[in-house]
């Protein structure tokens, strides 16, 4: 499997950090050429003002065995996305995998009703989470559909099953994640006649750079955070969702998943990959059966 994506071209939109970085690196580990886009580069930071850059992610892709190509793009600007896709077409002649993982919001107001929230900030969140995906799909899909077998992955937070019955602690966050889910559903209908596949994919409780920083831990000592939040024991590294995308991209029968809502833990059981520690965390089953059920933290049987 180490070179099963050799000759394939992927675009990870929103690959600066977190799930996007994990996905880009794992696609590279299977030999793919990966265009890594985002607003945070070595010369300019996004409004999030975090230190991670697209160049760092691209270097990790190359070190993993692929070819990482960083391109600074604001996916809210159609002309920049159009130029990106034109560059991929000129340089590679094809696009086989599109991952829409753009997020980038800086101000979420949790446990506030819509009339209590900062409207400008809420609408900006929606633009970052929804408009960016639509703009990227608009320009990238014609290139992806030039050849049959393409894959589109919409990254969200929460399975359709979970989100359909649970309020996600903010009007704007709930709406944004629901919209991404519906985009995956719509894209599945639109790309299938052209021989492509579109899916919705969610990681579990992700140990992103931001989340690790919130708990004051690193990937090496992340379990120390369980002293403050015991259910963090079910968390997973960005590599786990990355391996889920890589497994989908390398699967010649990936069309069986078209239009489905998937999770990294679910796909680990199907494809046999593990997280970096060798475990297979099944976060969304745990969240329902243990965390939301009010039971003490215990990951036995869930990783």
For residue 301, being part of any structural domain is answered with no
Range of the domain at 158: 9-291
Question: pLDDT of 7-46, one tens digit each?
Answer: 999 999 999 999 999 999 999 999 999 999 998 777 777 7
The CA distances from residue 221 to 123, 185, 207, 226, 274, in Å, are 37, 38, 11, 10, 19
**Digit-coded pLDDT (tens) for 269-290:** 999 999 999 999 999 999 999 9
| Residue 105 pLDDT > 90 | no
Token pair for residue 268? 């680990």
> At 252, is the pLDDT very low, low, confident or very high (cuts 50, 70, 90)?
very high
Question: pLDDT digits over 197-242, tens only?
Answer: 999 999 999 999 999 999 999 999 999 999 999 999 999 999 999 9
User: Is residue 298 included in any domain, yes or no?
Assistant: no
Please tell me the predicted confidence (pLDDT) of residue 1: 55
Give the total number of structural domains in the chain. 1
Q: Convert the pLDDT of each residue in 124-167 to its tens digit.
A: 999 999 999 999 999 999 999 999 999 999 999 999 999 999 99
pLDDT at 123 over 70: yes
Distances (CA, A) of 266 to 85, 98, 218, 261: 32, 21, 26, 10
Q: What residues contact 147, with CB distance under 8 A and at least 6 apart?
A: 94, 96
Q: Is residue 221 part of a domain?
A: yes
Q: Is residue 222 part of a domain?
A: yes
Handedness of CA 279, 184, 61, 205 (dihedral sign): negative
Is 30 inside any structural domain?
A: yes
Report if pTM > 0.85.
yes
Residue 103 confidence (pLDDT) = 87
- Mean of pLDDT over the chain: 95
- The pLDDT of 252-256, averaged and rounded, is 97
Q: Count the Cβ atoms, other than its own, within 10 Å of residue 65.
A: 16
Question: pLDDT-based confidence at 106, cuts 50/70/90?
Answer: low
Q: What is the mean pLDDT of residues 104-108?
A: 74
Distance of alpha carbon 208 from alpha carbon 221, whole angstroms? 14
The pair of structure tokens assigned to 243 is: 């391996």
Residue 167 belongs to a domain? yes
- Predicted confidence (pLDDT) at residue 2 exceeds the cutoff of 70: no
Residue 59's domain is classified under what CATH number?
A: 3.40.50.720
In the prediction, which pLDDT does 294 show? Answer: 97
Confidence of residue 47 (pLDDT cuts 50, 70, 90): confident
Two structure tokens written together for 12: 């990870």
Percent of the chain with pLDDT over 70: 99
| Residue 1 resides in a domain | no
Please check whether residue 137 lies inside any domain of the structure: yes
User: What is the pLDDT confidence band of residue 256, given thresholds at 50, 70 and 90?
Assistant: very high
């Amino acid at each position: 499997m180490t070179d099963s994506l050799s000759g394939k071209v992927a675009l990870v939109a929103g690959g600066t950090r977190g799930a996007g970085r994990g996905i880009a690196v794992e696609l590279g580990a299977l030999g793919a050429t990966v265009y890594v886009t985002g607003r945070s580069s070595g010369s300019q930071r996004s409004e999030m003002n975090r230190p991670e850059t697209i160049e760092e992610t691209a270097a990790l892709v190359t070190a993993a065995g692929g070819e990482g190509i960083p391109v600074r793009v604001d996916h809210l600007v159609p002309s920049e996305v159009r130029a990106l896709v034109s560059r991929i077409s000129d340089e590679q002649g094809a696009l086989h995998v599109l991952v829409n993982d753009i997020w980038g919001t800086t101000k979420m107001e949790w446990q506030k009703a819509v009339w209590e929230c900062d409207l400008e900030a809420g609408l900006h969140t929606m633009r970052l989470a929804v408009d960016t995906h639509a703009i990227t799909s608009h320009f990238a899909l014609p290139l992806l559909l030039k050849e049959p077998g393409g894959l589109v992955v919409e990254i969200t937070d929460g399975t359709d099953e979970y989100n359909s019955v649970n309020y996600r602690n903010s009007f704007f966050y709930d709406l944004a994640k629901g919209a991404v889910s519906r985009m995956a559903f719509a894209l599945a209908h639109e790309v299938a006649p052209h021989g492509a596949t579109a899916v919705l994919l969610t990681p579990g409780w992700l140990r992103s750079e931001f989340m690790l920083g919130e708990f004051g831990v690193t990937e090496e000592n992340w379990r120390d955070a369980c002293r403050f939040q015991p259910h963090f024991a079910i968390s997973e590294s960005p590599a786990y969702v990355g391996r889920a995308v890589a497994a989908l991209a390398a699967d010649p029968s990936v069309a069986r998943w078209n239009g489905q809502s998937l999770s990294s833990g679910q796909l680990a059981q199907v494809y046999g990959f593990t997280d970096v520690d060798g475990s297979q965390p099944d976060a969304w089953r745990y969240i329902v059966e243990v965390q939301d059920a009010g039971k003490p933290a215990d990951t036995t049987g869930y990783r």
